[in-house]
Amino acid sequence: MALSNILGFPRIGPNRELKKALESYWKGDISNEQLIREAATIRQANWVRQKDAGINLIPSNDFTLYDHVLDMASTLGVIPKRYGFSGREMDLDTYFAMARGRQDGKTDVTAMEMTKWFDTNYHYIVPELKSDRAFALSSSKVFNEYEEAKKAGITTKPVVLGPVSFLLLSKEREQGVNALDYLPKLLPIYQEILQRLQTLGAEWIQIDEPLLVLDLDENQKKAFRTAYAVLEQTSGIKLLLTTYFGALGDNLELAASLPVQGLHVDLVRAPDQLDAVLGALSKDKILSLGVVDGRNIWKTNLESALAVLEKAVTARGSDNIMVATSCSLLHTPVDLENETDLDAELKNWLAFATQKLDEVSLLTRAINEGKGSVLAQLKANAEALESRAQSRRIHNPDVKNRVKGIAESMKSRAHPYSERRKAQEEALGLPLLPTTTIGSFPQTQEVRKMRAAFKKGSISREEYDAFLEKETANAVRKQEEADIDVLVHGEFERNDMVEYFGEKLEGFAFTKNGWVQSYGSRCVKPPVIFGDVSRPQPMTVRWAEYAQSLTDRQMKGMLTGPVTILQWSFVRDDQPRKDTTMQIGLAIRDEVQDLEKAGIHIIQIDEPAFREGLPLRRADWAEYLNWAVDAFRLSSCGVADATQIHTHMCYSEFNDIIDSIAAMDADVISIETSRSQMELLDAFTRFKYPNEIGPGVYDIHSPRVPDSTEMEQLLQKALDVLTPEQIWVNPDCGLKTRGWKEVEPALIHMVEAAKRLRKKLDKNNAPKRAQA
């Protein structure tokens, strides 16, 4: 009999209960015990939801208070010495200090680095490896949560991140040491984990090794063989080796040969690998087939999924397969039933995490009992898919024709950067080491309250606009008082950097509770791109013009780029992603040109998701990078030389795509560098990046307020490898998640650091600021 298998479930709760509890705990409004109780309530509800749906293999240890990779580092004792960990059981204070930093009068420690989880918008905390660490089992979380579920009458399948992927996702803190050199120190801890879980009664353990879908060298492949030869010695436990986000490809033989009892493959992102997997995997192993999309929200084509499953059953028998989601459902919202305002037609096309449980269960039933047992459900599914395919809401001939008419000349500035720079220096007149911010300012409780009141109709458009004008004026004043050179309006009218634009564009729809986790307590509500995209009217000009009217300093126009809008949305799956991106690029191009006409001379087009969209296999990179660069240039190249184009990227590794970043031809790029102590600049310096760069000088994802000396030291590192004329001074990212009590002193310190370095550089004759 086939079994149903879920790889992970959303952690945040249907109404973001985890976010609210975490932020209350960090503020000191609730106790440690209250936070733990709320977390247990969410876990219990998740397990019951899956049990009620008829799922056989329900995951445990997929829940986390911040990040599952941080959880694994805590479990293994991979804890940097600066956090003063006692070496016993991981405590919440240490755990959150690793994630967020700590500054409490007694202690001042920075957070660990954070980066993107493969090609998703989820961020994980990067473990730090150093030989002076005495790695040891340091958290009972995986055992406690298994027992917690068991006491509730639910048998679960514990989930752990596998040893090789854990190490390859980590960062070495010593020169000349390879991450895999630590494998012998970690394997005994993994053995202890497996043995204890077996003693507690676990039958299956899901051991995630997503690195198996990447390009691996021989040393890395050898590490997999070594690791699993050791783990095989734990008898009485079944290991489900779990891969996702892509095809095993040339690692299939390796994965199939490892001494485990089951293998999970992603047949949504890599459907063509099925035949090869069926041929490579011995029939004494279980094959888990990921046929329900864990990363998007469209209904599964059940007939197509069933055909895939039936092919596997014919080859292996139903007793040797599992019906599964492609990956963890972490990347999807919790429950479509919470969307009471979504129109009926669109809602009928969608499936959130809870509905995907039903899809997995239904497909499993069809395999075990025959299609006849689910004919009504298959018919309803087919009707929903046909309704979507034929809907007039999806296709706009004018948009499609405009994309066909894109000329190569639309993707190039009139002159190269070396000539544009002269025009911009003359027009803008900024000092050496100009200071700015990335865009957003604190979204205070009052801002959120007024936005909610406006959406509910409790206040009028005029009242809401008056409030936004007041907040914008306040932000402009605070920036002037800090003596920042290039200002921003603060984005108080925006709920999210993608959702805001989606609300102004045709072809987008919006959910009320479609939240997914980005990191920690940070949740986003991705728009749904269901049809062709166009811009019916200007989106940002009103607020940029208003803010510019308040000051004689330069005001930056703030936009989100086409690739990021694509990546951070739930994207239609009925046309190539490239086509959708070009449609968005044309809409942003129109907005850029309107901002320029309105007198905005500096325009930032954020692309933090540029690298996130990169395919996992290097052989597939060129195609993506070509159209992604083209989309950015399409959006940015319709302006005069004197108009300065900025872009922003955060939490990305740039070494292997630096030529494509240069090809984007932005006049200024700002990047996250503070957590890495400016290490991310290495790629730009080796490449001899010719344009201007704003390396982030303080980490906005931490509540710490660094002093001006700390920022000056980081800037000095940048000056060691870049010319003074290249450098901008800015935070790592937007400031919407921070409070004014943190933001104001941090920005004052940032400007102080820039001014001190200007003096040291003896540039007292820097040009004066031009009138806007």
484: left (phi over 0), alpha (psi -120 to 50) or beta: beta
The rounded distance, in Å, linking the Cα atoms of 280 and 639 is 55
Question: Where do the DSSP E strands lie in 271-373?
Answer: 286-292, 321-325
Residue 64 CB burial class (10 angstroms; 0-12, 13-18, ≥19): buried
DSSP track, 697-731: -S-TTSS----HHHHHHHHHHHHTTS-GGGB-BB-
Count helices and strands in the chain by DSSP H and E runs:
27, 25
Q: Which residues is 523 bridged to in the sheet?
A: 517
- b vs e for 661-692, b when ≥16 Cβ sit within 10 Å of the residue's Cβ? bbebbbbbbbbbbbbbebebbebbeeeebebb
Q: Are 70 and 170 in contact (CB under 8 A)?
A: no
Q: Are 735 and 438 in contact (CB under 8 A)?
A: yes
- b vs e for 194-229, b when ≥16 Cβ sit within 10 Å of the residue's Cβ? bebbbeeebebbbbbbbbbbbebeeebbebbebbbe
The rounded distance, in Å, linking the Cα atoms of 112 and 126 is 7
Question: Encoding tokens for residue 716?
Answer: 């000095």
Q: Which residue has the tokens 């503020």?
A: 27
Please confirm, yes or no, whether 395 is among the known catalytic residues. Answer: no
**How many other CB atoms are there within 10 angstroms of residue 440's CB atom?**
23
Q: Which helix (H) or strand (E) holds 509?
A: strand 506-509
Catalytic residue, chosen from 489, 648, 701, 749, is 701
> What Rg, from alpha-carbon coordinates, does the chain have?
26
The rounded distance, in Å, linking the Cα atoms of 557 and 539 is 11
Q: Which helix (H) or strand (E) holds 766?
A: none
Which of 288, 285, 231 shows the shortest CA–CA distance to 7? 288
Q: Are 145 and 99 in contact (CB under 8 A)?
A: no
Distance of CA 489 to the CA centre of its chain: 25
Residues tagged active-site: 701
